[in-house]
A and B are shown apart, each in its own frame.
Chain A
Amino acid sequence: MSKQLAIARPGLFGFFPVWQRNFLVWRKLALPSILGNLADPLIYMLGLGYGLGAMLPSIDGQPYVAFLAAGTVCASTMNAATFEALYSSFSRMHVQKTWDAILNTPLGLADVVAGELIWAATKSLFSGLAILLVITAMGLTQGSLLLWALPAIVLTGLAFAALGLIWNALAPSYDFFMYYFTLFITPMTLISGVFFPTDQLPPWLASIGAWLPLAQGVALVRPLLAGEVPAQALLHVVVLLLTAGIAYALALRLTRRRLLK
């Protein structure tokens, strides 16, 4: 046991072993996890899309179910990233003390929080991708730009993972996360164009909604699934990146105050 081992400085990729840890846990439960993430949004989409959609006119030349399918991809991405950054990260940070164990190694808190951020975005990609595969198989997407939806899903996931980690850093218990959903996630879902076009809303509400990260994701993903290049794509990409970057910096600062005081 006395052989000298090659211990590498963590550097830029210090997040990777943290990500790898979470991936290894997920791999053990992958199938139930994917099915669980897939079932709920699909039931809503099919029920509302075909049931309600039968009574609705087409929206921008799309049947309602296709309109809703694109929204569902984004909402599922948001939910997967949010659940992971709230409930699962909180378990690892506060209940299992996994983060404390990691902080006793050469890794620092920035590595841990970045690992959690990228892992939550990865899970949201799995979730968004699963929905995308199903709706493509059902013929609800078209065109050659489909694969460009993947980076848009990742960006949306990163933004919501980072926002969730802020709330995680502040949470005294699991109950606290309910507020995040009722005060932020649910109202945002209703004003971001997931279920209906935002021009149905009062203009002031629509313009608030348009700046929220879910609307940014929808504005990228919906045209891509319809085979069109999104208008103002660069703007949406930049807003999502800024949201993710600023929220991550804030989450790191708040987590440092919580754990390393």
Chain B
Amino acid sequence: MAALDVSGLHKTYGDTAVVAGLSFTVEPGTCFGLLGPNGAGKTTTLRLCLGLTAPDGGEITLGGHSIPADAQSARARVGVVPQFDNLDPDFTCAENLLVFGRYFGLKDADIRPRIPQLLEFASLGSKANAKLSTLSGGMKRRLTLARALVANPDIVFLDEPTTGLDPQARHLIWERLKQLKSVGKTLILTTHFMDEAERLCDRLIVIDHGRKIAEGSPRELIATHIEPQVIEVFDESCGQLADFTENHRHLAERVEQSGETAFFYCRDPQPLLSALAAADGLRYVHRAANLEDVFIKLTGRELRD
């Protein structure tokens, strides 16, 4: 049985179809990514899956329960890390976990022995009695993750879990999410950090305007949608980039210009690299294609606000 099965999901606010016919399946014990630019419908999709708003059409089954009809039973086996922190500012770390466990109907005697383990997992072992206001952003995020695990859920939803964190804090969260996957939990993740999705997700879908526009493993998506090599060429303010791009366009399968940077997507980078070696005043970076290239190709370069 799938951990989460969504088919033909629709949700409209006013005249805007925020989710427009979305279908996907999440297998248990895997990490599934829901990717898309701002306003693509990611958070609305999560809210629909948790039964926090009723769909205008389509079917959702979460952990074997039909949503929204049986959402409260489904949520008993689910943990949620929301996009914005909503920890209790009046409580210590330990109290936050205790109070949250009670919402699951757990007895204090069952919650208290779990608190040290949960804090340890979140690398907050010494912070049991710390006031919330003394925690850094990364610590709060980790406490939110620990809180989501208080009732030992099978499925964990994470809405942009590392937004706003420094690299150290992000790496620690990624480590913990991999640990959770290794003990069999299902992770459902939204993010717009492509490196995060590439590292963590077994499968992912890219959505835009409430529709699925691509689906697969990160490797499959890179292999299917994009040339394997990328050379980014920057103009060092001597105005040669336009000419260079025009004259060497034929050396790449695809070229995209964005501001003072040209992106050359190619299978064989050697001819272009030789040409660049001879060009003064242009800097370049040569790298392998990644999920971000796929994402930009699919959703475009223009800003989404």
A residues apposed to B, CB below 8 Å: 1-10, 17-18, 20-21, 24-25, 28, 96-98, 100-108, 260-261
Residues 1-45 of B at the A interface (beta carbon under 8 Å): 13
Contact of B105 among A1, A10, A24, A101 (CB under 8 A): A10
Q: Are A98 and B76 in contact (CB under 8 A)?
A: no
B residues apposed to A, CB below 8 Å: 13, 50, 52-54, 72-73, 75-78, 80, 82, 84, 86-91, 95, 99-100, 102-107, 110, 114, 117-118, 121, 149, 151-152, 183
Q: Are A101 and B82 in contact (CB under 8 A)?
A: yes
> Do A7 and B52 contact each other (CB < 8 Å), given the known contacts A1-B114, A100-B86, A101-B86?
no
- Minimum CB–CB distance for B280 against chain A, Å: 55
Q: Are B152 and A2 in contact (CB under 8 A)?
A: yes
> Do A3 and B52 contact each other (CB < 8 Å), given the known contacts A20-B102, A24-B95, A97-B84?
no
Q: Are A10 and B72 in contact (CB under 8 A)?
A: yes
CA gap between A6 and B151 in the complex, in Å: 9
> Do A96 and B50 contact each other (CB < 8 Å), given the known contacts A10-B72, A10-B105, A104-B75?
no
- List residues of chain A with CB within 8 A of the CB of B88: 21, 25, 96, 98, 101
CA gap between A4 and B53 in the complex, in Å: 29
CA gap between A9 and B152 in the complex, in Å: 15
Specify the main secondary structure of chain B where it touches its partner.
loop
B13 (CB) vs chain A CBs: closest residue: A261
Q: Are B105 and A7 in contact (CB under 8 A)?
A: yes
Contact of B72 among A17, A28, A106 (CB under 8 A): A106
Contact of B104 among A100, A101, A105, A260 (CB under 8 A): A105
- Minimum CB–CB distance for B225 against chain A, Å: 34
In the A-B complex, list the 10 residue pairs whose CB atoms are closest, starting with the nearest.
A8-B105, A97-B86, A105-B103, A17-B102, A104-B80, A101-B86, A106-B76, A25-B90, A7-B76, A106-B72
- List residues of chain A with CB within 8 A of the CB of B121: 1
CA gap between A97 and B89 in the complex, in Å: 11
Q: Are B149 and A5 in contact (CB under 8 A)?
A: no
A102 (CB) vs chain B CBs: closest residue: B103
- List residues of chain B with CB within 8 A of the CB of A3: 152
CA gap between A1 and B154 in the complex, in Å: 12
CA gap between A1 and B75 in the complex, in Å: 19
Q: Are B149 and A106 in contact (CB under 8 A)?
A: no
Q: Are A107 and B73 in contact (CB under 8 A)?
A: no
- List residues of chain A with CB within 8 A of the CB of B13: 261
Q: Are A96 and B89 in contact (CB under 8 A)?
A: yes
- Minimum CB–CB distance for A93 against chain B, Å: 11
13 more A-B residue pairs beyond the given contacts A1-B114, A1-B118, A28-B90, with a C-beta to C-beta distance below 8 A:
A6-B105, A10-B72, A17-B105, A20-B102, A21-B88, A101-B82, A101-B87, A101-B100, A104-B52, A105-B100, A105-B104, A105-B151, A106-B73
- List residues of chain A with CB within 8 A of the CB of B77: 7
- List residues of chain B with CB within 8 A of the CB of A7: 76-77, 104-106, 151
Q: Are A261 and B110 in contact (CB under 8 A)?
A: no
A106 (CB) vs chain B CBs: closest residue: B76
Chain A CB within 10 Å, residue with most, of B99, B103, B121, B152: B103
A16 (CB) vs chain B CBs: closest residue: B102
CB pairs A–B below 8 angstroms (8 shown): A21-B102, A97-B86, A101-B100, A105-B103, A106-B72, A106-B103, A260-B54, A261-B53
- List residues of chain B with CB within 8 A of the CB of A21: 88, 99, 102
CA gap between A25 and B90 in the complex, in Å: 6
- List residues of chain B with CB within 8 A of the CB of A260: 52-54
- Minimum CB–CB distance for A119 against chain B, Å: 14
